[in-house]
Amino acid sequence: MRTSTSETLRALIEAEARRAGFEAVAVTRPDAIPLAPARLAEFVSDGFHGSMEWIADTVQRRAEPSALWPEVRSIIVLAMNYGPDRDPRDVLEKRDRGAISVYAQNRDYHDVMKGRLKEIAGKIVAKAGGDVKVFVDTAPVMEKPLAEAAGLGWQGKHTNLVSRAHGSWLFLGTIFTTAELEPDQPEIDHCGSCRACLDVCPTGAFPAPYRLDARRCISYLTIENKGPIPREFRDKIGNRIYGCDDCLAACPWNKFASAASEAKLAARADLREPPLSELLALDDAAFRVFFSGSPVKRIGRDRFVRNVLIAAGNSGDASLTPIVRRLLGDPSPLVRGAAIWALSRLLSDREFGDLAATAAKAETDATVREEWLAVPAYPAKADRRGSSMGERRFFIFGAGYSAKAFARANAQHAPVAGTTRTPEKFEALRSAGIESLRFDGALSTELGEALARTTHLIISIAPDEAGDPVLNAASETIRAKMPALEWIGYLSTVGVYGDHGGAWVDETSACRPVSKRSVMRVAAEQEWLKLGRAIGKPVAILRLSGIYGPGRNALANLEDGTARRLVKPGQVFNRIHCDDIAGALWLLAENNLGGIFNVTDDEPAPPQDVVAYAAGLMGIEPPPEIPFETAQLSPMARSFYGENKRVENQAIKAAGYRFRFPNYRVALERMWAEGNWRDGEPRSPMRG
């Protein structure tokens, strides 16, 4: 039971906290976070702290408050609201503007809060004596676990504090005191099955709920990271030039949040969505003036302009090219390197190739030279040899759904021949612009003659237990009787990666095929790569995710009654529109590029979300959710749910490809608007 002195002191603290602008205040004990040491140790041992060595150096003091100050008896945790007055994600669609994290759009919160905490601490000492220490994210204090223990909220799956009363937009500060105060009850977790914060993360920074890999977090990459931003994350950063609010903004508990009432934390108008062109022009002096008093100032001009250059490269805004080119002469290697990447995205292939041919030789910094050489397509584009567009002839073994999309998209550029097993499909191939030939596992004279004229060979037939049917039938012909052959493309599947527990994978990740068909795919990939090495021709392996497009999509499935919303918590699938398969194929073939490329869109997503989004476009109710455990599925369909991974697409983007449909929403919206979602023929959205 509280003593009258304790109650009086508590009332004083609460009154002073309200007067100082804090939304919430609560009390806990220094021994109230017993799980924190093990969790922090795991975070560090996994390397999730990245280059933030100050975390590793202070593990014990950080996890145990009494190790920081043995005299502490009570910890007062205070929260100040910095909620935005609009959705901070709106600016992400304005690619000529920069997105600055909400917390950094005005005064540095450390400066705002620390003085007020000191005032409250002074009142505590005046009232009760003893000693106090004040911390605002400036010492090894684990504010979020302490806030949870004090009952202010709970650490959500994104590892940030969530409050039922105030949402996610809270700054935390602590007052350590020698006074004995009655602790509050801890808060419990209210996240339930929600994954909104996890699934919205552009870079997949959450390997599991409640675990953050800072090395993949955009806030870390743009703020704490002192070197070049890793290439695999650059396109995913978009126009986020300082921090990221996606996981915070996605939290449904923010329906209880309100805009910040503290004027010093309300957004400055010129920091809401500043033009990239103006930020790129900042020299060091102008940077310091513009960001005076802002947290942005602490990373320095060079790191900030590095971030803005990444946004410029992602903008597609050619008007930024002149100022980006000027930054190639910046004194900072960090800035010059980022400018190279931005220009690789803003200039045409020919312009960039011409620039690189001279500028790379003149560069004296080794890391910047690596940036020139890391754009894979530029040497090939600058020095490409081979047939002209008019001389190219494509041959596709297995001219199915994706092959027809390729032929339709490129019919005006080069002739395309393709095979099917049954003559009944000849007419469908011809209507797609494909010269139709039959392949039943044996190489006919007609096929041999067509192959002899082929410059670019595409294989879209799956292997079977006897091996790859094309290699079995045509290996010797490819080796000795295709004098015009320049390039081979093999359409494989991301199924070769198998199950990675929802983690991100790229072309360097281990293949762990689960199904027999995927095991055979891995073997076939290796055989085609081996053949390419033997004949000295580039082989591109395109690992495709789930294919959709006209006639094969959630809109069509809803119309014919086959759409189901199966729910398996944490399960995502990767997707690719057939037109993007066609585009990626054409890019690789045009430039005779070899290697392994994941051809998948930017957003792995739960399958039930796709069906729900399609239903929304159609103005109908989505089908009810069905738990995966009780769903009636064929063995093959069930096997797909045995693999869970998020597939990166950085390699194909680095080769120069820009996705027409970067996610399922863009594709469904386009097909619905154009009325070609049934079979590719434009018509009214719904049948009359």
Phi (first) and psi of residue 639, to 5 degrees: -65, -30
Q: What is the mean pLDDT of residues 443-451?
A: 95
Q: What is the mean pLDDT of residues 287-298?
A: 95
DSSP 8-state class, residue 215: G
Model-wide pTM > 0.75:
no
CB-based contacts of 516, cutoff 8 Å, min separation 6: none
Burial class (CB in 10 A: 0-12, 13-18, 19+), 494: buried
Please name which of 534, 421, 547 lies closest in space to residue 488, comparing C-alpha atoms: 534
pLDDT at residue 1 above 90?
no
DSSP 8-state class, residue 268: P
pLDDT at residue 378 above 50?
no
- Decide: helix, strand or coil at residue 14: helix
For the stretch 208-242, pLDDT in tens is 999 999 999 999 999 999 999 999 999 999 999 99
Burial class (CB in 10 A: 0-12, 13-18, 19+), 679: exposed
Please name which of 434, 468, 645, 652 lies closest in space to residue 542, comparing C-alpha atoms: 652
Phi (first) and psi of residue 409, to 5 degrees: -75, -25
For the stretch 390-404, pLDDT in tens is 478 999 999 999 988
pLDDT at site 3: 54
> How many CA atoms are closer than 13 Å to the CA of 527, on its beta-carbon side?
17
> How many CA atoms are closer than 13 Å to the CA of 288, on its beta-carbon side?
2
pLDDT at residue 439 above 70?
yes
Percent of the chain scoring above 90 in pLDDT: 76
pLDDT at residue 357 above 60?
yes
Between CA 332 and CA 23 the distance in angstroms is: 43
pLDDT at residue 562 above 60?
yes
CATH of 4-91+101-192 given 3.40.109, 1.20.120, 3.30.200, 3.30.70: 3.40.109
For the stretch 486-527, pLDDT in tens is 999 999 999 999 999 999 999 999 999 988 999 999 999 999
DSSP 8-state class, residue 662: S
pLDDT at site 656: 87
Residues 249, 193 contacting (CB under 8 angstroms): no
pLDDT at site 409: 76
Confidence of residue 62 (pLDDT cuts 50, 70, 90): confident
pLDDT at residue 389 above 50?
no
Helix and strand tally (H, E) in the chain?
31, 21
Burial class (CB in 10 A: 0-12, 13-18, 19+), 465: exposed
For the stretch 112-121, pLDDT in tens is 999 999 999 9
Mean pLDDT is highest, among 407-411, 470-474, 640-644, for 470-474
pLDDT at residue 379 above 50?
no
- Decide: helix, strand or coil at residue 420: strand
* Average per-residue pLDDT for the chain: 91
pLDDT at site 219: 98
CATH 3.40.50.720 maps onto the chain at: 389-674
Residues 363, 398 contacting (CB under 8 angstroms): no
Q: What is the CA 342 to chain-centroid distance, rounded?
A: 18
pLDDT at residue 189 above 80?
yes
Q: Is 213 a catalytic residue?
A: no
Between CA 450 and CA 48 the distance in angstroms is: 54
Position with higher pLDDT, 680 vs 464: 464
Phi (first) and psi of residue 313, to 5 degrees: -65, -35
Pairing of strands 646-647, 504-505: parallel
For the stretch 260-285, pLDDT in tens is 888 888 899 999 999 999 999 999 99
Q: What is the mean pLDDT of residues 621-641?
A: 87
pLDDT at site 312: 97
pLDDT at residue 559 above 90?
yes
pLDDT at site 486: 95
Q: What is the mean pLDDT of residues 40-47?
A: 93
How crowded is residue 466: how many other Cβ atoms within 10 Å of its Cβ? 9
Q: What is the 3-state secondary structure (H, E, C) of 562-573?
A: CCCEEECCCCCE
Residues 593, 655 contacting (CB under 8 angstroms): yes
Which CATH superfamily hosts domain 389-674?
NAD(P)-binding Rossmann-like Domain (3.40.50.720)
Q: Which of 57, 90, 96, 137 is catalytic?
A: 137
pLDDT at site 428: 86
CATH 3.40.109 maps onto the chain at: 4-91+101-192
How crowded is residue 147: how many other Cβ atoms within 10 Å of its Cβ? 28
Confidence of residue 139 (pLDDT cuts 50, 70, 90): confident
Amino acid at 314: N
Six-digit token string for 547 = 């294919």
For the stretch 640-683, pLDDT in tens is 888 999 999 999 998 888 898 999 999 999 899 888 898 754 33
Between CA 581 and CA 409 the distance in angstroms is: 11
Percent of the chain scoring above 70 in pLDDT: 95
pLDDT at residue 430 above 90?
no
pLDDT at site 382: 33
Confidence of residue 179 (pLDDT cuts 50, 70, 90): very high
pLDDT at site 4: 64
pLDDT at site 682: 36
